[in-house]
């Protein structure tokens, strides 16, 4: 009997404690002080809006923005230089001076053998 009474009193004590804790928790936000956001919100807002306006830009401005990136600009420049070198090389402009001279000479020889001199015109074979 005594045990039952003890159990009952401990249960009721626990319940009253729980009720008290619940009430304390519900009242814990009474007089709460408003929290402040991190400083410079307006500056961050302007930056965020700038980013959004960049994202909302037209196709041409997006292309321009893409090309403006240093990595892209340097890559395009390198590709252009490589293409130029390839074209010049394939046209022979970059071959050595000696070859150029010999080519010129050979051309000169070709021309020379076709020249008709006075001797040739006077001594024509029948």
Partner 1 sequence: MSLQTDTIPASAQQNNFANIVNSRQQMVYNTALSIVQNEADAEDITQEVFIKVYEKLAEFRGDAALDTWLYRIAVTTAFDFLKQQKAQKRGGFLKRVFGMATENDVPHFDHPGVALDKKEDARVLFMAISKLPDNQRAAFVLNRIEGLPNKEIATILDITLAAAESLQIRAKNNLRTVLKTYYEKHFK
Closer residue to partner 1 (CB): 34 or 70: 34
Helix H or strand E segment including 24: helix 2-27
Cβ proximity of 83 and 77 under 8 Å: no
Q: Binding of partner 1 at residue 53 (CB under 8 A)?
A: no
Q: Binding of partner 1 at residue 21 (CB under 8 A)?
A: yes
Give how far Cα 125 sits from Cα of 112, 115, 116, 118, Å: 21, 17, 14, 14
Of the candidates 77, 78, 51, the residue with the CA atom closest to the CA atom of residue 65: 51
Q: Binding of partner 1 at residue 35 (CB under 8 A)?
A: yes
Least spacing, CB of residue 4 vs partner 1, in Å: 21
Of 8, 12, 13, 48, the one binding partner 1 by CB under 8 A: 48
Residues that bind partner 1 (CB under 8 A): 14, 17-19, 21-22, 24-29, 31-38, 41-42, 44-45, 48-49, 52
């Amino acid at each position: 009997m005594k045990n039952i009474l003890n159990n009952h009193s401990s249960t009721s004590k626990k319940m009253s404690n729980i009720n008290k804790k619940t009430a304390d928790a519900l009242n814990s936000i009474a007089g709460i002080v408003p929290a402040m956001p991190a400083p410079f919100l307006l500056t961050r807002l302007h930056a965020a809006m700038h980013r959004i306006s960049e994202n909302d830009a037209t196709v041409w401005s997006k292309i321009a923005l893409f090309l403006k990136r240093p990595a892209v600009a340097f890559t395009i420049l390198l590709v252009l230089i490589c293409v130029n070198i390839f074209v010049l090389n394939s046209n022979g402009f970059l071959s050595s001076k000696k070859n150029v001279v010999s080519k010129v000479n050979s051309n000169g020889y070709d021309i020379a053998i076709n020249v008709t001199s006075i001797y040739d015109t006077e001594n024509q074979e029948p």
